[in-house]
Amino acid sequence: MSRKNIRLKEKVERLVILDKTGKANEALDPKLDDELSLYLYKLMVQSRVLDERMINLQRTGKMGTYAPCRGQEATACGATPAMDKDDWIAPAYREVGSFIHRGWPMESLIFFWGGYEEGCVPAKGSNHLPFAVPIATQCLHAMGISWGMKVKGESDAVLCYIGDGGTSEGDFHEALNFAGVYKLPLVMFVVNNHWAISIPREMQTASPTIAQKAVAYGFDGIQVDGNDILGCYAAVNEAANKARSGGGPTLIEAVTYRMMFHTTADDPKKYRSEDEVKKWEKLDPITRYEKYLTTRGTLSRNVQEDVKAEAVKLVAEAVERYELHREVDPVECFDFTYEEMPPELAEQREDFIRVLDEAGVKRGPRGHYLLP
């Protein structure tokens, strides 16, 4: 069969509500009320301030390797608030704003990247999974939750985040295949930030867009400007409403850019140009939204300064709680991997305890070692 006899849907709808100057398309603007509009702005600012502080914590040796979200705040801060409270969220590992919106304490996010298992404990009453660092595994978790919802006859939906690099993993395609076959209430939100570590977007797939992959699985796909928070909100809101009403899944590709390194262990100067980064800096999602809110009369210079000051204060308080955290026993890292601890691991555990005792590490009220 010749290619000309195979019909391919190579173009998908692209949604842009706020252009790069912050001007809204009046016909598409969801015209959110002032309270929600300002809240989305606060969420992005808090995400960025926390992001910057966590990089500093890592650089000063107070936290482990970290994956920053600078430049793509509009994706998490626009998409998750578009979901209902009882909907489930399955994040990847840059969705800082999503966690904050769903009530996770900021220090929990620092705990996670600091290596504390407390960072994986969801906020009470929050249907929001922890960070998923293994690439694309959260896709199957999200699909499974949405499948369970349908089996139980629930009218909720699931939002799953994944990066463009994760779309090359089998878990992504398996999740979409099941979601399409069973018409599951799943919204797959691909954050296309152009680089999966050093692999560019064009090396992930030969498809002109990632959104069009939905066609092969039998449901809708749409591309949205990932630096347009209103576009992200509107796209997810529509997809979630469709999912809850039995309309099946949707694949959304949000085109944005990772302004920083992949993680604090990465050097992006080895694989991308400064000119490319500078081009995307001019499309900053926070700056774009500030222009929109200012034109609308929702944001003044004083309000802008107050939002930034509040974010700095909240982050500083979270960091303080993190640095005072001493309720973790380092010996526990040996205890929860095997039902019966192998002899060689038990020997290492005893050696570790001996080293701690010889170093004079103090114990707390529960008998656990207090980290210095």
Chunked into runs of 10 residues, the chain (372 residues) has average pLDDT values of 46 92 96 97 98 97 95 98 97 98 97 90 91 97 98 97 98 98 98 97 95 96 98 98 97 98 96 96 98 97 98 98 81 87 96 92 78 68
292 among known catalytic residues: no
Distance CA 290, CA 288 (A): 5
258 among known catalytic residues: yes
The pLDDT of residue 2: 44
The pLDDT of residue 201: 95
Which among 194, 258, 292, 322 is annotated as catalytic? 258
Do 250 and 49 contact (CB within 8 A), yes or no? no
Range list of β-strands (E), 16-100: 88-90
Beta strands across the sheet bearing 88-90:
14-15, 220-225, 250-255, 186-192, 158-163, 88-90
Distance CA 316, CA 71 (A): 22
The pLDDT of residue 336: 82
Q: Write the burial class of residue 123 (CB in 10 Å: 0-12 exposed, 13-18 middle, 19+ buried).
A: middle
Checking DSSP bridges between strand 186-192 and strand 250-255, what pairing results, if any?
parallel
What is the assigned CATH class of domain 9-323?
alpha beta
10 phi and psi angles, rounded to 5 deg: -95, -10
Amino acid at 133: V
Distance CA 297, CA 164 (A): 36
162 phi and psi angles, rounded to 5 deg: -155, 150
Distance CA 89, CA 129 (A): 6
The stretches of the chain forming alpha helices (DSSP H) are 34-59, 73-79, 96-101, 106-114, 137-152, 170-182, 213-216, 229-244, 274-281, 285-296, 301-323, 343-358
Q: C-alpha angle 173/245/18, rounded to 5°?
A: 75
Q: Hey, how many other C-beta atoms are within 10 angstroms of the C-beta on 74?
A: 31
The pLDDT of residue 208: 94
Which structure tokens are listed for 74?
């509009």
Which among 48, 70, 262, 288 is annotated as catalytic? 262
What are the extents of the domains in the chain?
A: 9-323, 328-372
Amino acid at 231: G
Distance CA 112, CA 127 (A): 18
The pLDDT of residue 333: 83
pTM: 0.91
Distance CA 48, CA 53 (A): 9
326 among known catalytic residues: no
Amino acid at 114: G
The pLDDT of residue 10: 55
The pLDDT of residue 326: 66
The pLDDT of residue 141: 98
12 phi and psi angles, rounded to 5 deg: -125, 160
